[in-house]
A and B are shown apart, each in its own frame.
Chain A
Amino acid sequence: MTDTLTFVPLMIVLGAIGVPAAVFAALGAGERALTLFSGGAGRRARPWVWLFLPLILVILILIYPVIVTIFTSFQDARAENWIGWQNYAWAFSGQMLDIVGNNILWLVAFPLITLVLALASATLFDKVRYEPLAMTIVILPTAISFTAGSVIWTQMYSFQPSGSPQIGTLNAIRALFGADPLPWLIQPVVNNFALIFVAVWLQLGIATLILSSAIKNVGSEMLEAARLDGAGEWLIFRAMILPNILPSVLVVLTTMIIAALKVFDIVYVMTNGNFGTDVIANRLYYELFAANNLGHASAIAVILLFTALPVALINIFQFRSEARS
């Protein structure tokens, strides 16, 4: 192993000081070059001098790979021959169907569970005086990596056969109520929800923050008036708060759908796709490294991209209407 003590500081200095200095130098050089042009031409070229580095990076890391992947998805395992739609046919057949099914479960269950819990937490936190504390605690896991979250919950879900002492928190609670321990990560369907809940635990803070901020924007006069008219809290939530925070609910749903699409770490760490928990992001990793099938991997990636497309369109639509108003 390289000597950490010198290597790490060196890398940090290089990346956090050296490269930024180079970026500024490049900008300076670009600006100097602009002065060679007379007025109008220089002014027209200036945005591209400034956008050059960000744009090159985005093209290199995002745009170019997206295009190539789409092409590769119509090629064979070694990306040499065109094979038409075969990779997609494979992706929607046989064993892959279960995986796609799991993804659909993630895409539906994860956003919905998160939304319901976030609506509950955001609404109820708003009513108690220790809201800042509760909010901070719910936010904490958003700082934790999916990997560390998986380690934490592997222990929470830990299972010993009935009769032996339960080390895992959840099975210990079951034992307390006299129930048999549950093999959370092994028993099909239960295990999928167990994995989904880890993601919920990690991401709820984001959803709660967004909804809480929206709820606080609902005019308090309106709510006071409704209370004076004798409306109960549930009616106020349903008829006053909910319609007003719908845009934010949409934001939460789309954010969580995207998170569900990308989910890889949790499955990779906790079950590695065993016991019927595999998802296509994890499968892609397998196709890429174990099976070395570039065509399969690319087709899976394109499917992910196209699933995300409606969300991108919603975003664009919202962005445009906001830009106009």
Chain B
Amino acid sequence: MTGAPDPAITPRTFSSGARKGRRRRLPGTLVHVVVLLFIVGWVVPILALFLSSIRTQADTASSGWWMALVRPDLSLQNYALALDQLNIAGSLGTSLAIAIPTTVLTVLLSVIGAYALVRMRFAGRTALSLLLVSLLVTPPQITLVPLLRLYNQVGLSGSIPGIWLYQVGFTLPFGVFLLRGFIASIPKDLYESANLDGASELRTFWSIVLPLSRPIMASLGIMAFLWSWNDLLIPLLFLGGSGVSPPITVNLAGLVAQTTQGQGPLMAATFLSVIVPLMLIISMQRYFVRGILGGAVKG
């Protein structure tokens, strides 16, 4: 950025009291109007989704969601239908079975890679860093043709571990990239001290690097979870035709095409699919912000 300290190390949160009163002259009415427009424009679609999901089938078919505010006639019927007939519970389960291990493995392997890249000196270190940076922008589409074939050959297609493998491998360059700045900021003395205290490399990693990197690991964890949970393309391609329920994104995409159940259950299913990431981002906004800023600065 503009010569500022690496945001990965010094996160700026938006409620920070340090900036109180700074640049806050009395804004004009126009400013308030535009900001309110943003707020309305960004919250209304989510509100519409929620309200549509708790209205009755008949209402949804005949009037807009806003009528729920005028004439509330609410029911959880859509949720019952979604869970019962659209296999939403199974889909949420599959999504969890994909996203949780993907998150853990992405974070773990990223810390390992970043630690080796930052802490150890070896020939080709700079080249490797540059390779990672250039891989940051690889479109996933470029990998599909060979990987589909490879997955079929080794029997990974249709299996959940196959999805872990893909998502972890695809996110690793970002993960290593996000973590390396932070890990580089851990004073070298600590490693040396641990070494003199008799700690092996692995022990130093476990007892010093992992605990100290917890905040940035949380940032990466959030990003990895969101990407995995929200991914449509990869499970759509690699999980087709297997016995497991499709993950929630694949299920939703299928439901849009066939609207036999009506809009209501689809809205309920969609709301169920967004509630997990929304809760996550609200409760861990600080870490999410750090992840965005730390990772986006250069990539």
Contacts and interface: CB of A to CB of B under 8 A. Distances in A.
Interface in B122-157: 122, 125-126, 128-130, 132-148
Interface residues of B, number: 131
Contact of B105 (A11, A15, A212, A300): A15
A104 interface: no
A199 interface: no
Contacts of B285: 136, 139
Contacts of B117: 51
A48 B14 contact: no
A58 B4 contact: no
Nearest to A214: B1
Contacts of A172: 64, 66
B69 to A, nearest CB: 13
Contact of A72 (B15, B145, B299): B145
Given A54-B112, A58-B172, A139-B288, A7 B38 contact: no
Interface residues of A, number: 132
B172 A126 contact: no
Interface in B45-66: 45-46, 48-49, 52, 60-66
Contacts, number: 387
A148 B252 contact: yes
B298 interface: yes
Given A23-B112, A223-B23, A15 B165 contact: no
Contact of A51 (B116, B244, B281): B116
Contacts of B169: 57-58, 60-62
A57 B65 CA distance: 47
B292 A284 contact: no
A167 to B, nearest CB: 5
Given A54-B109, A147-B273, A167-B61, 20 more contacts: A8-B96, A11-B97, A14-B101, A20-B105, A47-B116, A47-B125, A58-B172, A62-B143, A125-B35, A126-B23, A145-B252, A148-B249, A217-B1, A217-B2, A248-B1, A268-B253, A272-B257, A297-B145, A316-B133, A320-B130
Interface of B: 1-2, 4, 7, 12, 14-15, 19, 22-25, 27, 31-32, 34-35, 38-39, 41-46, 48-49, 52, 60-66, 87, 89-90, 93-94, 96-97, 100-105, 108-110, 112-113, 115-117, 120-122, 125-126, 128-130, 132-148, 160-161, 164-166, 168-170, 172-173, 176, 200-202, 205, 226, 229-233, 237, 243-245, 249, 252-253, 256-257, 263, 266-267, 270, 273-274, 277-278, 280-282, 285, 288-289, 292-293, 296-299
